[in-house]
Amino acid sequence: MLSAHDQVTSLLHLDSSHSGDSITRRLSARFADAWRERHGTSGHRYRDLVADPVPPISAAYCALGRRVERNGYVPPAKVDALIEDAAEEREWALTRPLIEQVLDAGTVLIGAPMYNFSVPASLKAWIDRITFPGAYTDPDSGRSLLRGTRVVVVTARGGAYGPGTPREGSDFQEPYLRAYFGNLGIADDGVAFVNAEMTLADLVPHLARFREMAAQSLAEAQEAVIALASR
């Protein structure tokens, strides 16, 4: 793992949009640019989860995970001793580097457009693979190793899903990610969302009346990512 100082100045940057004209990619890049201006380029780690996808987990991954669970809090460095066959070895070789990237990151930046009220499959594949039993738990204290980590999620939604909107109850994106990262031990105030809404207003005729709202939402999102990157 990195030193405490290097963790603070380490950014893990993930994009998961399949769109060639992606608002989340533009916003996450804006955050990353501002972050690099403040901290330099050496700590920035980037992965395009569409161009370089994380393989879905397999039966061997699950078998190894269950064996680890039966042994209590097993740190990643000791998982090798529990591997029983080549398939499990391959799965762990795919998994451990991703876990280490999360552990080393002071900030995790995720570009996550809303697809069908939730997150893209490319992002879900990454989530499934990094969620390995015991990987983020201190085996001595039982406390989360991610309690000081910050997560910034940049979203784009074709409609409006904020508080008080008709579709507020159809947002299975932000509540899901908040619950997920909270379960990993990241503090409530350590997870920030920047939501650009009504992004289909310029494309879909029946949403044209919301173009001003969309432009305002995007402008606010652009300001928000700069502010968050400067903290």
d(C-alpha 17, C-alpha 108), whole Å: 16
**Annotated binding residue 116:** yes
Q: How far is CA 50 from the centre of its chain?
A: 14
* C-alpha torsion angle, residues 31, 36, 39, 45 (rounded to 10): 90
Does 161 belong to an annotated binding site? no
Q: Is 193 annotated among the ligand-binding residues?
A: no
Find out whether 22 is annotated in a ligand binding site.
Answer: no
Separation between Cα atoms, residue 10 and residue 159, nearest integer Å: 33
Is 114 annotated to bind a ligand? Reply is yes
Annotated binding site for FMN: 17, 114-117
Annotated binding site: 17, 114-117
